[in-house]
Each structure stands twice: as C-alpha cells, then as structure tokens.
Structure 1
Amino acid sequence: MAVAPRSNLVVQAAEDTSRVQAYDLATGKVAWTFTPAALSDARTGVFVVTVGGREQVLLARQGKTSGDGLKQSAPTVTVDIIPARSPAKATAAHHLDLPVPSDRALSFAASGSGFLVGAADQGTYSQATVIDPATGAKRSVTAKDVTVPGCGGATCTLSATPAFATSAGVVSTYQQTTGCDRWANGSGQPCTTGFQVGDAWTSTTTAPRGMHTGIPLAVTGKYLIAAWHSSDSQTDQPALSADSKTTFTVQDLATGKTIASVSCTSADRLALQPGSAQSSTRTSANGRYLVSGQTAFDLNSRTGRCYTSSASSKGIDFTAVGDDGTAYGLIHTGDGSDASSLYGRLPIAPDGTDSTEQGARVDLASDSAKALSEATEVPIYLAASNGVFHTGEVLAVYARR
C-alpha cells in the first residue's frame, strides 16, 4: 500500500497481485483499477515516486512467468509505472521486464523520488538497476571509485556502493580501511565511513564537527536523514546504543546543508544501516514536522527530539505525523530478530500483515507521549483532515477529530 498525497489517493495491490486499485482519500471511492500481467508466486511492492511534481505509482513484482505452450516458466521481475492521475481503467505508461537468477531475492528500494532494484546486503547493492519513473529508462549501477575530501585528514579515493536512488542522484556509501585507526582505539586518525549523493555532495564536507561515520537512513521530499558517530570500529556495524550518542540530522538533499539535528542514546542496541529508516520516515502535509525512526523534528524551529528507549521507557518507531504536530508510532519491543534490531524498520510488513505491536501517540509541541490501548490501530499516513490505516487486507480512512 502507498499514498499519493498530491493526487489525494491511496493505492493498494490485491494479495494475489491480480489487480491494483487507487482509492480517493476523501470519499473512499475507487478512482482507478490497473490489471497487470499474470505472475505466479509473486512478491509485490507498491510505491509512489514523485518526479518533476508528478506522482507515479510503481508496481514492482518478483515471480515467475506462466509456462504455456513451448515456453518454460521463468523467474522475472516486472515493474509497471502508472501515472497517479489515471482514468478509471488505468494502463501502465511504462512496463519493464528484468530477468533475475532463480536463487536470488531482489529488493525494491523507493525513496519517494527514486527507485532501485537489486540484491541487497546490509542496505547496499554490489549491482543494481535504477529506473527513471518519468521515462521508464533503466540503467545499471555498480560500485565506483570516488574522491573523498576530509578522509583521514586528507583526500583519498574509496569505493562507493549504491544504497538507494533519489532525485539528486544515487546515494552511495563508502568506508575507509587503510591509513586510519580501524579498531577505534585512539591509535591514529579515525577511519571515515560516509556517503555521496549523486555528483552533488559528499558527507565529509557536511558532517557535524568531529563526526567521522555517516550513514544515510532515508529520504523524504527534499530532505535526507542521516546518522553520525565520532568514530566506529571497522569490525562492528554502527549502532544506536547507550554507549555513546548518535547524532541524527535532516539535510537538504540537493546541497547537504543541515536543517536540524538531535543527539540520542538508546537502551536498545539498534543497527544503523543505509535506508533502514525509509519505511518510518514521514513529513506532515504542511511540511513543518518530520519523523524518522525514533526521532522527530520541527523544521520551522530547526529542532529535534529523541523518542528512543531508556532504562525506564521504551522507544517509539514512528508511522505518521500530522500538521498540528500529533505523531503516531509503534512501541518498540525487540524480539531478538534482525528486523527488530534494525533502526527505523517498522514491525509492519509491506503487504500489511497484522502487527501485534502496541501503538503510541506523541504531542511534539509539548513533548508528551502516551501509550494507546492494545486494540488501537495507528495510522500509517495523516492528511490534513483524515488518517489512513492498514491492517491485513483491510484499508480504512477515518476523518480526524
């Protein structure tokens, strides 16, 4: 399920991927229906990407083609690009078939302004396909050498690996392994771990003072959200923990300029990974508030707050925020799984699988949080006048009071 706020639509794919329907957010009426080509055993993702002010719905599926006649059934990835503003019987403006090995599961990475398909390893891709939602054009991206200023006190050349695509270009991550203190024991210059946004800017030129480790967590609209450490051992994955503070920043996607920042600790040890907070990153309809993972920002006052765990309280993984600063989320309860130990990853499956997590409501203006009753669902999107809820196969929109 995905929301197209400019078109005032919520889009949902049937569980068997036989059709996609867009519903009017105000009335709940079906605005359009799209019927894709049949695939068996399909894994499906529905995304809304905005390019040049126009919203495009991307239906991405990995499955098998039908084996009929002389044709063998074969694994494939298909991507259909459907304009959000479509007639009642929608058709794809672009259809792409991407053959894949049968033994590899691919990930679909949408940032809101870019789309990438590939086999992920801890948030990065050794090889991936970037798709232009406006034209349907596709291109292959792989690791490449980049010149990094401020690396180990000088300039160095490092290999940068794609993480996700945006309107400003592909965000690639890199890690220095030579000429620096790999063990973070104070024996030399800290190693640099960072990222580059297209050809526009590099994290080392915009990092907070003294921060040598930068992880791009998510992109929403014109903002990139990143996490920063002073240094990290090369043997450990960067994490939000109680050991040292993690600084979270909201940065201008085009320039890297820092808009707001906040430093947090957590009683939970949550791994920080490129793109891990994408599913829990939202902005309010009026653009004032932004929530991401377990942090919240007032972009007007350029301030941020932490809603992470402590010795006496649990953390909150945000799901939505409204124009008045009322935000909702799920109380974080780690179960030891990789998913629950990854910062920003919501315990709601993309296909709307039921979640037993308890919800919470936060008033960002007063910095007060309240647990909701266990039977209360939390919205996954808040418009100015209504909220969108998604549980299992049930999609509901309620007027806000």
Structure 2
Amino acid sequence: MRTTRWIACAAVVVALLAGCSDSGEDEENPGAKDGKRTGPSPSAEATPPGTQLEVPTLYDTGRGWESTEEGTQLPLPRTGAVAVYWERPGEGGPDEHGFTVLDAATGEKRWSSVPVSPLGSTNLPYIRATVDGKEYLAVWSSGTTDDDAVNRGREIVAIDIFPADSSGDGVQPVHVEVDGEGKVRDGGAGLLVESGDDTVVAVDPATGDTTEYGIDDQEPPADCPQCESSWEVRGLTANGLLMGTSIDIDYSGFWVPGGWTSADLRPKGVDPDGSPIAQVISDDLLVVDWGQERNTDAIVWSAVDSASGETLATVRCEGDTTPIDDHMSANGRYLVHGGRVFDLEEGTGVCYERTDSTNPVEFQLATDEGVVYGNAINSEGFSSSGRPVQLDMRTGKIQEFDDVNIDFPFGDTAGFGLFWDEASRTMVAYPHAS
C-alpha cells in the first residue's frame, strides 16, 4: 500500500474545503503504488493498451485505447472527443492542414476535414472556441485572393470553421472572408477579427455570419465619459463587445456598452481605485483579478458571467500569483486558473500561491469529479523544480505523489483521461477506474 503525504492547505477560501489531513494512506485505492493503479484486474474482454504509463489512480491502465495519429492533440471536453491537427506538403503549393477527430471513449474516428491551405504564407493558426456550449475548430490566414497577372486581387482574412460534433469524411468548413488585413482570435462569444483600425468584426462560428462593430460607436461607462480617448476591445459577449481602457488614462475598468460595468461587480472590501484585470475564458466566462483587498495582503479573484455581469464565484488569495494556465472541466463546473481553482456550482474556490511558508501550485487540469492535477513549484535561486500533486475539491485535501515522473492527462472527457507518451509519440486513453 502506498503511503501518501498531505500538504498543508494554503489560503483555502471555501467553507466546504474544511482543511487538510496530516496523515493517511490511499484508502480509496488500496494496492496503488507510485501513481500506478494496481487494484482490481480488468475484465477478460478488456485489452490493455500497449502503451503503459505511470498515471494517477483515478485511471485504469488495464483498459483503453491508443493512437499514433500524427499532429497536435486538442482535447474537446464538451464534445467528448479529441482532435488531431495535422499538416502535410501540398502538391505544388502551400502545405495543407486539417483535423481528424477521435471519440474520447473508443478512439474511433468521428470525422475528418477536407484539407485547407493558407493565404500568403504557410502559417495557419488554429483556434478552439466554445460558443453556446458547442465547440468549434477553426484555422485562419490573411493574404491576397482573386489575383492574377492583371488583377491585384484583394486583401482578406480567410477563416475555415468546423463544428466539433461533425461526422464523416471530407467535412467541409464554414468559410468566412473578411476584407482587409487582420488577425483572428477567440473573443469569447465568437471569433474576433481585428485589423488595428477603428472596427472589429465578430464571426458567429455556427453560421459564419459577421457583425462589424465601430469602436468609436460604443457607449462609454457613465463614470468615465472620457474613456473613448483610450478604449480597446477586450473580448466579445453575448450582449456585445467587452471594452476596456489602455493604461494612459486614469480609469482601469471594463464594461459591456449598454450593459454592466466593472463598478457594478466590484466585491466589497476591494479598493475602488484599484486596477482590475479581466481575462476571457470562454463564451460566457471571465476571470477578474480585482487587486488587493483593503487593509489585508489578499488579492480578490472572481469568475464572472460575461453576458449578465453576474459573479459566479469569488476567492481571496494571499501570496504571489503563479503563472496562469486555464482549463475547464468537461461539465463546466471547475475552472483551473493558475494557482486557483473555482467551483462555479458552489460559488467558491481555493488558492495555492507562493507565500513565506508555502510553495505555489501550478494547476493544469480538472476532472468532472473535482480532482485537479498540478505541480508544486520549489524555486531556489535561478532554478526551480516541480513536485506533482493532486487536489480533491470535494474534501479540500491536496496530496503529493510519491512518483515525481507520474504522467498527468492533457484532457479528461467522457470518463477517459487522455495522455501523451513522448517516447513513442503515442496518444493513449485510459478510463476512470470503477
């Protein structure tokens, strides 16, 4: 039986996470050792994947599937799938790109796209977007179209969008062309095409419909009529643009024109003259760093519904902020944000930041059950090392793994963890243990 160590709780800001135990063995999974499950044997019908990794005890390595599809693996948690973004040489032209999407529970191919080629260069960035609960895959490029020896053509931004729940081979994209030069990003409630001038174009990934917004036409917040001198687009909500200001004026809020402003959401105790920072997470979700709470050293963070301005969860964190890596559990309940994990159903959260007595944790992934994986970072001088840990949001206990080389999943959906084995260049999926 593997012994485990429980790490002292750091700035846990949630009543139901009632502290950490100082003892204990892995009572739920007897026989586990060094992160590998050695409990009940799989059924006789199950065929273990050939790739066997050292994984957390949540996963059963005696069952599952594996794939050697070449490309970049992109988990699609809401769809219960994983996409592989591939590239291959084109015949006498630019490289071709496309997606192959596998079922996360079986490894079987759900669909594959037609190949698409970029305009202007071989660069074809991909975007994963979630809008109205549906996931989309998109690629974009900018360049000249309809040009020949006589005609100069026109500068456009071309976007090819694939619904993640497609089926079959040779899936055709929703093709969108926006005039002019620009860049495309996931704005939240749609794709945003930004050209650096006084307009932005929102693209609905479901239909390809575009909406042009004049930045100068947006309504400033009531408490900052001069904001139009220095405003910028931060994202897109279901009710319009999310606006903010650059740093050269004395206003640091953000707002949805005609809707809510950051002043409406500010938690009690936060300095009203602070500089809140909003980050778009998905189509309807922001994370806001409100800055320091008055008369304390705590930093207040909130998860906010971007359409309504409703605060979904709040957490107070003491210590220095860790690097930020965002991840949502497939069911949308748990949000990982650097050293913070929000429980959007309970409206609470937990922090593991760097303090005088604790090392920070960089969380990477949350499962639907509230099991969260990450690394506690111990920095000494110019070097740092990570120790793998597991947080259970249901109990508030954080556990250090004995095996420092344990493999964490890069995705978890449909009851399966998705892992990558660099040595064999293989993607392997193990189901949650019974």
Q: Would you call these one fold, judging by a TM-score over 0.5? A: yes
Which residue in the other structure is 1:134 paired with? 206
Go from structure 1 to structure 2 and tell me whether the alpha carbon gap of 1:291 and 1:194 turns closer, same or farther (over 3 Å shift).
same
Which residue in the other structure is 1:146 paired with? 219
Secondary structure of residue in 2 paired with 1:205 = helix
Equivalent position to 2:417, from 387, 391, 394: 387
Q: Which has the larger radius of gyration?
A: 2
User: Shift of the alpha carbon at 1:13?
Assistant: 0.8
Residue identity over aligned pairs, in percent, reads: 23
Quick check: 2:104–2:414 contact (8 Å CA) kept in 1?
A: no
Which residue in the other structure is 1:216 paired with? 278
Which residue in the other structure is 2:127 paired with? 46
Quick check: 2:361–2:375 contact (8 Å CA) kept in 1?
A: yes
How does 1:161-310 map onto structure 2 within 5 Å?
161-174=232-245, 191-197=250-256, 199-209=258-268, 210-212=270-272, 213-220=275-282, 222-229=284-291, 244-267=297-320, 280-282=326-328, 284-310=329-355
Deviation string 1:18-62 (CA, Å, 9 cap, x unpaired) is 3211111111111111123323522421313233x5443323346
Secondary structure of residue in 1 paired with 2:169 = coil
**1: distance between equivalents of 2:156 and 2:419?**
31
Quick check: 1:38–1:66 contact (8 Å CA) kept in 2?
A: no
Question: TM-score, with normalisation over the residues of structure 1?
Answer: 0.70
Quick check: 2:370–2:392 contact (8 Å CA) kept in 1?
A: yes
Quick check: 2:315–2:350 contact (8 Å CA) kept in 1?
A: yes
Aligned residues: 340
Quick check: 1:3–1:9 contact (8 Å CA) kept in 2?
A: yes
Task: Tell me which amino acid in the other structure corresponds to 1:47.
Answer: R
Go from structure 1 to structure 2 and tell me whether the alpha carbon gap of 1:299 and 1:109 turns closer, same or farther (over 3 Å shift).
closer
Equivalent position to 1:109, from 186, 197, 200: 186
Unpaired runs of 5+ residues, structure 1, are 179-190, 233-242, 271-276, 337-355
- Larger relative strand fraction: 1
Deviation string 1:102-154 (CA, Å, 9 cap, x unpaired) is xx8x452353x32223379xxxx9754321112212344454353324x3xxx
Which residue in the other structure is 1:349 paired with? none
Which residue in the other structure is 2:431 paired with? 399
Task: Tell me which amino acid in the other structure corresponds to 1:172.
Answer: M
Task: Tell me which amino acid in the other structure corresponds to 2:326.
Answer: S
Quick check: 1:65–1:76 contact (8 Å CA) kept in 2?
A: yes
2:160 counterpart of 1:80: yes
Question: TM-score, with normalisation over the residues of structure 2?
Answer: 0.65
**2: distance between equivalents of 1:36 and 1:71?**
27
Equivalent position to 1:36, from 115, 137, 149: 115
> What is the RMSD computed on CA atoms of the aligned residues?
4.0
Quick check: 2:340–2:351 contact (8 Å CA) kept in 1?
A: yes
Quick check: 2:159–2:175 contact (8 Å CA) kept in 1?
A: yes
**2: distance between equivalents of 1:251 and 1:231?**
18
Quick check: 2:174–2:207 contact (8 Å CA) kept in 1?
A: yes
**2: distance between equivalents of 1:26 and 1:362?**
24
**2: distance between equivalents of 1:268 and 1:6?**
29
Quick check: 1:49–1:58 contact (8 Å CA) kept in 2?
A: no
Quick check: 2:322–2:362 contact (8 Å CA) kept in 1?
A: no
**1: distance between equivalents of 2:350 and 2:157?**
40
User: Shift of the alpha carbon at 1:195?
Assistant: 1.1
Secondary structure of residue in 1 paired with 2:290 = strand
Go from structure 1 to structure 2 and tell me whether the alpha carbon gap of 1:54 and 1:326 turns closer, same or farther (over 3 Å shift).
closer
**1: distance between equivalents of 2:236 and 2:117?**
28
Equivalent position to 1:20, from 99, 102, 112: 99
Quick check: 1:126–1:162 contact (8 Å CA) kept in 2?
A: no
Which residue in the other structure is 2:363 paired with? 318
